[in-house]
C-alpha cells in the first residue's frame, strides 16, 4: 500500500487517499481491442479505496469504489451513493472500516459486487461512494458529496442514485425531499424519516422513481415511516408511482434481503431497477 496526498484548489482539499500500489490482474483489454471504451464491458470487480477527506464538518472520510478499468477509459459512469445506519457512525478516519459491515461496502470489499449490471440491452458499472458520518447527515451533507463526485470523478450526472438503510434510509428520503431534481432514483430501506408536505411535493413534482423496502414488524423504525411517504406520494399525480416492498417479518433488518443481489422483483434487483431511470 502507499499513501498519496493531493491538494485541490477551490472548495475541496483532498488530504489522503489510500490506494493499492499493485495491480492484481492484467488489463483484459489490450491495444488490440479496438472497441471504443463506451462499448467495453467490465469483467473484474470494482476497486474500493479509503478516502480521508474533510468533506463537511459531519464527514471526514468515505469509501470510493471505481470500475476496475476506470483509469484506462474516458467514459462517464453512473454514481451510486450508499448511506449507512446509526451503528456505523464514526470519525471518517480510524473508524472508517466500520462501514465494511454495511451491505454495499461489504459486498465490494469481498469482491462480490458485480463488475457490471444489465439494464435493457446496456451494461453499466457503478462508481460507488459510501460516506461515514459523525451524526445523522443532512441533505446538505449528502449534496456536498454528490458535488464532490461531479467535480472530481467521471460520473454521469443524469444517473445519480441514492440508497441507504435505517438512519441512511431516512437521509435518502430527506435528500430527495429537497434535491429530487438532481437524482435519477432512490431506494430507502427501513428509512427513519417522517414525511411532510414539503418533501413529498418536491419528490412528486420531479417524478422521482422510488423503491422503498421495510419489515412489517420493525421494532426500531416503524413501517409507518415508509407507509407515510408512500401513501402521500400515491395520492399525487407522480409517474412512476412509488413501489414499496413490505416484508412480512419482524425485526429491523430489512437490508440483508433488500441489498441481496439475488433478491429480485419483476426480474430486477434494486441495482438493475435503479438503472432503468435517468434524468
Beta strands in the chain (DSSP E): 2-4, 16-19, 47-56, 59-66, 77-83, 117-119, 122-124, 127-131, 155-165, 185-189, 211-217, 243-250
Q: What's the average model confidence in pLDDT over 117-141?
A: 97
pLDDT at 25 over 50: no
Q: Is 147 exposed, middle or buried (0-12, 13-18, 19+ CB in 10 A)?
A: middle
* Per-residue pLDDT, 239: 96
- The grid coordinates listed for 11 are 472548495
* Per-residue pLDDT, 184: 98
**Domain residue spans in the chain?**
2-20+40-274
For the chain, give the mean pLDDT.
89
* Per-residue pLDDT, 37: 62
For residue range 65-113, list pLDDT tens digits in order. 999 999 999 999 999 999 999 999 999 999 999 999 999 999 999 999 9
Rounded to two decimals, the pTM is: 0.87
2-20+40-274 CATH: 3.40.50.1820
Q: What is the CA radius of gyration of the chain?
A: 18
Amino acid at each position: 500500500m502507499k499513501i498519496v496526498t493531493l491538494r485541490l484548489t477551490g472548495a475541496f482539499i483532498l488530504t489522503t487517499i489510500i490506494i493499492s500500489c499493485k495491480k492484481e490482474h492484467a488489463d483484459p483489454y489490450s491495444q488490440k481491442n479496438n472497441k471504443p471504451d463506451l462499448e467495453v464491458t467490465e469483467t473484474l470487480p470494482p476497486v474500493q479505496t479509503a478516502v480521508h477527506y474533510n468533506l463537511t464538518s459531519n464527514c471526514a472520510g468515505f469509501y470510493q469504489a471505481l470500475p476496475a478499468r476506470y483509469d484506462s477509459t474516458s467514459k462517464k459512469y453512473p454514481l451510486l451513493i450508499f448511506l449507512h445506519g446509526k451503528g456505523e457512525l464514526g470519525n471518517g478516519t480510524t473508524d472508517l472500516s466500520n462501514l465494511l459491515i454495511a451491505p454495499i461496502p461489504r459486498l465490494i470489499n469481498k469482491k462480490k459486487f458485480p463488475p457490471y449490471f444489465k439494464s435493457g440491452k446496456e451494461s453499466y458499472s457503478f462508481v460507488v461512494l459510501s460516506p461515514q458520518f459523525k451524526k445523522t447527515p443532512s441533505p446538505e451533507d449528502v449534496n456536498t458529496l454528490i458535488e464532490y463526485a461531479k467535480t472530481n470523478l467521471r460520473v454521469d450526472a443524469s444517473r445519480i442514485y441514492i440508497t441507504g438503510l435505517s438512519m441512511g434510509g431516512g437521509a435518502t428520503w430527506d435528500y430527495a425531499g429537497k434535491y429530487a431534481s438532481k437524482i435519477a432514483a432512490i431506494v430507502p430501506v427501513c428509512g427513519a424519516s417522517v414525511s411532510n408536505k414539503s418533501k413529498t411535493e418536491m419528490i412528486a413534482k420531479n417524478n422521482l422513481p422510488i423503491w422503498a423496502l421495510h419489515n412489517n414488524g420493525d421494532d426500531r423504525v416503524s413501517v409507518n415511516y415508509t407507509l407515510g411517504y408512500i401513501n402521500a406520494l400515491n395520492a399525487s399525480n407522480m409517474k412512476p408511482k412509488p413501489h414499496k416492498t413490505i416484508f412480512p417479518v419482524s425485526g429491523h433488518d430489512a437490508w440483508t434481503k433488500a441489498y441481496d443481489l439475488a433478491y429480485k422483483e419483476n426480474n430486477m434487483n434494486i441495482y438493475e431497477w435503479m438503472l432503468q431511470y435517468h434524468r
